[in-house]
Amino acid sequence: NTKCNDKVCQSSIMDIPNRGDTPRTKEEVYGDAHVFLGQYFASIRRENSEAHKSRLNEVKQELKDRGTYQLKTSELVFGA
């Protein structure tokens, strides 16, 4: 869904029609992070481990403090 032709590209896939511009709430972001991290930790056979619980708490604190959180390198690689 790009604004490109064979000679020029004026946009990217990030220009998604009807996406809206209202930021997601911290609760929505945490919900998505919870699901993603569950998948990540399950993939490394550490679901519900202390590391998993600790990471969820870390994400929750980052969201509280900054309104966003950063993926760790291994999480980013998994998500890619």
For the chain, list the domains and their CATH numbers. Answer: 26-79 (3.90.340.10)
Q: How much is the pLDDT for 7? A: 78
Torsion of CA 64, 23, 30, 80, to 10 degrees: -120
Q: How much is the pLDDT for 18? A: 67
Q: How much is the pLDDT for 3? A: 66
**DSSP SS3 for 59:** helix
Q: pTM for the full model? A: 0.74
Query: Which ranges of the chain have pLDDT less than 50?
Result: 1
Residue 68: CB partners within 8 Å, gap ≥ 6?
A: 29, 62
